[in-house]
Amino acid sequence: MGISPAIRVLFVDDNPDLCTVFSMLLEAIGGFSVSSCTSAAAARERISAEVPDAIISDYAMPVMNGIQFLREVKAIHPDIPFIILTGEDSKETAIDALNTGADFYQNKSEAIEIQIRDIAQKIRLLVSQRDAEEAIRRRDAILEAVTYAAERYLKGSVGDDDSAAILSRLGAATKTARVCMYHRHPAAPESLPICDLTASWSEDENIPDLPPCKWPREWFIRLSESPDLLIPESGISGLNEPGLPSGLHSILILSIRTEEMLWGYLVFLTTRPDLRRSALEIQTLRMASDLIGAAQYRRYIEDVYKSPVEEAMLGVFILSPTSFTYVNPRLCEILGYDREELFRMENPCSIIDPAEEEVFRDHIRMTLEGTDPSLHFESTGIRKDGRQVFLDIYLTTSFCENVPCIVGNVIDISDRREIQQSLRESEERCRLLAEQIEDLIMVIDTDFHLSYGNPAARRTFAHTSIREGMDIREALNGEEFRGFLEILSLAVRGEIVRTGTVLLSLPGTRKRWYDITITPLLKTEGRLSSVVVFFHDVSSRVQQEEEIRREGLAQIELNMEQFQILNDEIRNPLQVVRGYNLLQGGEYQEKIDEQLSIINGLIDKLDQAWVRSEKIHSFLLRHYRHGFFLETGPDR
């Protein structure tokens, strides 16, 4: 098994020394390749040249901070794991970063070696999750396209419309710019590129096809030794073939052949620089070329049928009304039986969980009778060792020697089910946490209907008519809820709403102050579906702040009084001393007057300080006479 490639990390910080130290320490852990930039602008240029596997960015940077940089990156590359670093311990900044799309928010206060280990673990986790999700999505998409092709090719004759539909599904599943299928003239030697374009699909009609007559001879030699050929950008750029499409980053060529003959080629032209074909993807696409080759072979040899899916990654079976007549190795692997055991099985439906066996029988019956000649459903299988396996099953009708039969395609979706179960368990844990905490939690959709309120919220708003499914504006229509509803209206329209503090008057209690945080919930397509509103009771904090302000004003008044007293107590004796000095005269009279003038100047400064204190006192009384501001809205 090959060594996994290093995770490519981009580190962004305006401190060059920190960039160097961080890169060296993270690479020293092993498994990471780190590049660094000292500004968001430089990082953007780096990303446009090569998209990294993960990004770590400082928050406080000149020109563009980490969250602004995060927002730009996520707009173009929404799946890149992104970690924000900061030297501040700000709740508002953390919430803003997470709401903008950061996967983690890390404080720099810990020792750097601890930070590096923690960040390395988080990056591995994030990249692993992203790769697993992408692998599942692309594998499922390709397998669905292959299953679609199998259903049509195994039925028999395939027309031009079917071929175009098959190529469009393969192109969309593989994110390819253009897919072409060429048919080779049977009488032509394999070394001669005498081929006709039989079907094609393109996401951009401006991208021309690449017929075999324009291929270098070396490609044919390599295709004679291997069923597939992947040409990277470096292999394309050296070609000087006239008419070669520009902007290509890779070419994948699959031979369409059976053991007896080469029938043609399946060609995938890719223009995306970040798209790399994995061995697993190419092996899965081989299933499509195998299916096409089998269909060509079946048309060429009318009385012979050969399975196109012996090495397929999805299970395939042919079922007569009472027994299996064909199973491929993958189906045997999924169910844990060998072929002979499945062929001898008296009840083919016994591969299905007994609780679902009757439903499976009904599907078989409806397909054979033509009530529903093509069915797709999920079911629970039972392996030979008794363990359950979750199956995605496609059934369609066909004929074997003029006898109706069922052609089935089976995909093992146990891994997908485990992921779905983990998500459900995670949701349940979140719900249990919401049920236990004292903070108020409400989920409100974009039509202002209450989807969920935790027990604390239901208790607090028990005096209103609010209930789940109700328009919250009808229930909370009092003046005391006006500020909250203003914030909520902004949030459901998709605008960014920061934390606000509102005052609510609740029956039977004193007025309560709440910090409100609103978090958007997005659908898979990225559209806003609802918002989660958190109410945190901060009444004690507000009361303490008011007490501190009150004590501050009292201290200012005391200081002003002491200023006045000090002024009078110094200035009066000073005048007495000056009078005695005038009366006494003498050689030191002038020097004493000079020192008395200095002291008098200091007293004038005290007078000026008193005037400034009076102005400050008036300002505080004018603006804080109610104790504090009511802070709501997006501009807090």
pLDDT for residue 624: 52
- Tokens matching residue 78: 């929404």
**Architecture, CATH, for domain 135-300:** 2-Layer Sandwich (3.30)
CB atoms within 10 A of CB 422: 10
pLDDT for residue 619: 62
- Rg of the chain on CA atoms, in Å: 38
pLDDT for residue 538: 84
Helices and strands: H and E segment counts in the chain: 18, 20
DSSP state of 580: H
Domain ranges of the chain: 7-109, 135-300, 315-415, 437-537, 543-623
- Tokens matching residue 460: 């607090």
CB atoms within 10 A of CB 610: 17
- Which residue, chain included where needed, has tokens 């719900």? 431
CB atoms within 10 A of CB 248: 19
Half-sphere exposure of residue 508: CA atoms within 13 angstroms, side-chain side: 5
pLDDT for residue 422: 83
- Cα separation, 287 vs 166, whole angstroms: 13
Beta partners for residue 514, in sequence order: 502, 537
CA separation, residue 361 to residues 155, 365, 389 (Å):
22, 6, 18
* Neighbouring residues of 409: CB distance < 8 A, sequence distance ≥ 6: 147, 150, 151, 314, 315, 316, 393, 394
The single-letter code of the amino acid at 623 is H
pLDDT for residue 121: 92
Phi and psi based region of residue 79 (left: phi greater than 0; alpha: psi -120 to 50; beta: remaining): alpha
| Length, in residues, of the chain | 636
| Regions in the chain scoring below 50 on pLDDT | 1-3, 302-307, 625-636
Inter-residue contact 334 to 412 (CB < 8 Å): yes
- For the domain spanning 437-537, the CATH number is 3.30.450.20
pLDDT for residue 12: 95
- Cα separation, 498 vs 490, whole angstroms: 10
Whether 315-415 and 437-537 share one fold: the answer is yes
CB atoms within 10 A of CB 559: 14
Say yes or no: domain 315-415 is CATH 3.40.1080.10. Answer: no
* Neighbouring residues of 249: CB distance < 8 A, sequence distance ≥ 6: 232, 233, 236, 270, 271, 272, 273, 275
pLDDT for residue 221: 81
- For the domain spanning 7-109, the CATH number is 3.40.50.2300
- Which residue, chain included where needed, has tokens 């890169």? 23
- Cα separation, 517 vs 498, whole angstroms: 7
- Taking the C-alpha atoms of 238, 241, 242 and 247 in order, what is their torsion angle to the nearest 10 degrees? -40
- Cα separation, 265 vs 183, whole angstroms: 7
- Cα separation, 269 vs 177, whole angstroms: 6
- Cα separation, 146 vs 312, whole angstroms: 10
- Tokens matching residue 233: 């950008």
State CA 226 to chain mean position distance: 38
Query: In a 3-state reduction of DSSP, which class is residue 230?
Result: strand
| Nearest to 460, CA basis, from 535, 543, 540 | 535
The single-letter code of the amino acid at 147 is T
Task: List pLDDT tens digits, range 392-441.
Answer: 999 988 877 667 888 889 999 988 888 888 878 887 887 888 888 888 88
pLDDT for residue 545: 77
Claim: this prediction has a pTM higher than 0.85: no
